[in-house]
Structure 1
Amino acid sequence: MRRIKTDESERGVVAPLTAILLVFLLGMTALAVDVGMMYSEHAQLQNGADSSALAIAQACAASPPAAACSTPLSSASVYANGNAVDEHSNVVTATVNAGTVDVTTESRDDAGNNHLSLVFARVLGIDTTVIHASAQAKFGGFMAGNVFPLSFSKCESDPGFTKALQFFPEHGNAIADMPGYECVTPSSSGLEVPGGFGWLDHPAGSCTASVNIADPWVGTNTGHNYDSDCATLLNKWGAILSQPGGTVDILIPIFDDVRGTGANAEFHIEAFAQISLRGWNFGGGTKLPKDYMTPDATVLHDQLVADKDIKLKNSDNGIYGEFIKKVSLAELGTLGGPTTYGALGAKLSN
């Protein structure tokens, strides 16, 4: 019989390969376990920084300011430790300056060392790592931002409104007085706030009106035609809505009172209505930017025109959309407004 020869040069290869693979496997274990632990630590630190910054800002916004405003470092430590699973976090900085609170936290172990102790990464010579998280909050007077210069009466934007897609008629159209569309709300002065909507005053060349929470009376822009300053924005909305699945959600100021007449009329803004836009008919136009309707808005339009009780005319102005919810002035507001009226608040800003 012939003897099968073996390759003696391959003896002992398994041992070094196993050693190499073991290092690789340990490295993967370190990646899976230690990195996961690092992510968890950062999430805890971020929660601690966020809650600390917001709590201190709220303390500073109180009248008079609460104690946490004058002792931000010790106050931040309480919230940072409270948001840590092991109840150990280090607050590196916690400062209050010009309406802004900044907080930075970092990891801390049970022994008081400002680092996170790793487990499997020690095999690779990495014993610890330092993790930081930062947060910023602002406090002061609320000041609402700029919005589309169109305003609805409060009763047209009732959160209990059950209609889905609907037509919001402009004030002055006959349809606004029809059952189901009539909208009158007694005001504190005993007057009735007219239904429909009206254009608001705004700077020339701009398509935004500013609403200030401290003094939410906004002048009206007389006339029924669409605002030519909004042509670019309306064309943009039309282009988005014409795409499959395209949606445009807008915030419309809601007024609950009116004073003055004609060019001197002013609306008192109470909140904002979030509306999913489907189209509009401004100034009796037949194409963008004056007029645009999605297919479902066109169906609704044709139904309203055909309804003998409503008798909508093609020249009647308004917008088509679905009311989503009411947004308070404070929810939309940015901080930095006057504090004369006591409209103080605090928000996370970073």
Structure 2
Amino acid sequence: MWRLEQDDPERGVVAPLTALLLVGVLGMTAFAVDAATMYSEHSQLQNGADASALAIAQACAATPPGPDCSTPKAAAGTMSNGNALDGHSNALTATVSGSVVDVTVQSQDPGGNNHFSLVFARVLGIDIADIRASARAEFGPYSAIDGVPLTFSQCESDPTFFKGLQFFPTHGSGLSQDPAYACEHQSSSGHELPGGFGWLKDPDGGCKMHLDINDPWVEAKPGNSVDSACDSLFADWKTELEAGGTVEVLIPIFDTACPSKGTGTDPCADAPAGKYFRIEAFAQISIRGWHFNGGGTTYFTPEAAALKKGLKLKNDDEGLYGEFVKKVTLAEAATLGGPGTYGDMGVQLTK
């Protein structure tokens, strides 16, 4: 009797193994393709939510309030659809509570169903996904800004003036009149704007200036000596720098210097009595060191010390060592929540 013998015991396993592998491949494809399309959908929804919240907040901040403020959900629907590539989205909620606008939008397919249809994931039994995005905006009067009580001239806010690490001398320092550092031109008041920076009055003694962006005049501090109240601030800067951290500060930039109150059409007619600067923006400076006499302090990072040596600075050359980061507008530096004294309203995306 003849017997059938099996020469290859593994024969026939290719088909089921291929089937199993295809399930894994399809699963990974589903994850890769559908995850990418879901990410794109969420980005569109987030753009729509952000745009909706800002548009509604701007309408509420207007005088009188715009129609979008009273019909926020309709406004959110229009804005979110406009930010969707297929023109379809669902404004789930859009509310105005006090000075806060909250918007949540949801994905919607062309058939009007409030979900996102998947493609490859259907193989795994997952047909749809619920994708949502939310945003919050606030509106109201701008509040004042607290900052370091010193100010730069407007021409020194020009990014072309700052090239890498710089030494910023105080007004009156010999180096501030050097051609490499001189920054003198006529201000709108007709008075010369000196190079370097000057100290501002610190009425509260906390080493900070207080600026209302709707009335941006700040009084100059007599003399060039640093206020002793700033010693603790310098100590904090030193601690942070020695720990390898970064110290970035906003320093006011003035566009008008008024040695006294003007009259008539003189821009200084708007200034209070006394010596005042009108602040037009802020310079964001990354601090590397400083040197002040008359009760001030001194600290240099290694790179600041090298710059001091390279410039052959003397003991009476007082100022800051740092690098210009960017120019910041008053509105960018301010926060919302101030009194509506001057009627100026702002809008900020907060979430």
What is the TM-score with the length of structure 1 in the denominator? Answer: 0.81
Match of 2:169 in 1: 169
- Pick one of 288, 291, 298 that aligns with 2:298: 291
Matched residue, 1:33: 33
Which aligned pairs between 1:91-170 and structure 2 lie closer than 5 A? 91-161=91-161, 164-170=164-170
Matched, 1:224 2:225: yes
Deviation at 1:345, TM superposition (A): 2.4
Instruction: Please tell me whether the aligned partners of residues 250 and 282 of structure 2 are also in contact (alpha carbons under 8 angstroms).
Output: yes
Q: What amino acid sits opposite 2:280 in the alignment?
A: E
Q: Indicate if the aligned counterparts of 2:53 and 2:137 stay in contact, CA closer than 8 A.
A: yes
Opposite residue 112 of structure 2, the aligned amino acid is: G
Instruction: Compute the displacement of 1:98 (Å).
Output: 1.8
Aligned-partner residue type, residue 71 of structure 2: T
* d(CA) in 2 for partners of 1:194, 1:176: 8
Question: Alpha-carbon deviations, 1:250-293, whole Å to 9, x = none?
Answer: 321123335679xx7554322111223332112268xxx82123
Aligned equivalent of 2:342: 341
Superposed counterparts of 1:75-86, under 5 Å = 75-86=75-86
Letter in 1 for 2:231: S
Q: Retained in 2: the 8 A contact 1:282–1:290?
A: yes
Q: Please state whether the residue corresponding to 1:105 is helix, strand or coil.
A: strand
CA distance in 1, matches of 2:99, 2:204: 28
Distance 1:14 1:181, change over 3 A: closer
Match of 1:309 in 2: none
The amino acid across from 2:250 in the alignment is: L
The reply on whether 1:314 has 2:318 as its aligned counterpart is: no
Shift of 1:302: 3.5
CA contact (8 A) 1:214 1:337 kept: no
| Matched residues, number | 332
Higher alpha-carbon deviation: 226-235 or 111-120: 226-235
| Deviation of the 1:331 alpha carbon | 2.0
1:281 equivalent among 280, 284, 291: 291
> 5+ residue gaps in structure 2?
262-273
Tell me if structure 1 keeps the 8 A contact 2:289–2:301: yes
Structure 1 residues 33 and 66: CA distance shift in structure 2, 3 A: same
CA distance in 2, matches of 1:4, 1:283: 105
Q: Deviations over 1:56-94 (max 9, x none)?
A: 222222333322222211111111111111111000011
Give the equivalent residue in structure 1 for 2:24: 24
Distance 1:303 1:32 in 2: 56
Q: Which residue of 204, 228, 238 corresponds with 2:241?
A: 238
**Matches of 1:30 and 1:155, distance apart in 2:** 57
Secondary structure of residue in 1 paired with 2:336? strand
CA distance in 2, matches of 1:88, 1:82: 8
Q: Deviations over 1:205-247 (max 9, x none)?
A: x55444221232345555613622313322135315xx5xx75
Per mean C-alpha deviation after superposition, the further-off stretch among 23-32 and 102-111 is 23-32
Structure 1 CA distance, aligned partners of 2:157 and 2:278? 15
Structure 1 counterpart SS, 2:142: strand
Say what the alpha-carbon RMSD is for the aligned residues.
3.2
Q: What is the CA distance between 1:314 and its match in structure 2?
A: 0.8
Paired residues of 2:93 and 2:105 also in contact (CA < 8 A): yes
Residue 333 (structure 2) aligns with: 332
Name the aligned partner's letter for residue 250 of structure 1: V
Aligned partner of residue 112 in structure 2, secondary structure: coil
SS at match of 1:251: strand
- CA contact 1:212–1:337 (8 Å) conserved in 2: no
User: Could you tell me whether the CA contact under 8 Å between 2:173 and 2:316 is conserved in 1?
Assistant: no
Contact residue 290 and residue 321 of structure 2 kept, 8 A: yes
Measure, in 1, the Cα distance between the counterparts of 2:310 and 2:9: 90
Determine the structure 2 residue equivalent to 1:308. Answer: none
Task: Tell me what 1:72 maps to.
Answer: 72
| Structure 1 stretch displaced more, 33-42 or 56-65 | 56-65
TM-score using structure 2 length = 0.81
> Relative to structure 2, which stretch is displaced further, 38-47 or 25-34?
25-34
Residues 293 and 4 of structure 1, relative CA distance in 2, 3 Å threshold: farther
Deviation at 1:17, TM superposition (A): 2.7
Task: Sort the Cα spacing of 1:200 and 1:163 in 2 relative to 1 into closer, same or farther, 3 A.
Answer: farther
Report percent identity of matched pairs. 55
State which drifts further: 178-187 or 328-337.
178-187
| Unmatched runs of 5 consecutive residues or more in structure 1 | 306-311
Q: What is aligned with 2:270?
A: none
Between the aligned partners of 2:160 and 2:23, the Cα distance in structure 1 is 64
CA 1:200/1:5 → structure 2, altered by over 3 Å: closer, same or farther? farther
Equivalent AA in structure 2 for residue 269 of structure 1: I
Structure 1 residue 48, shift from structure 2 partner: 0.8
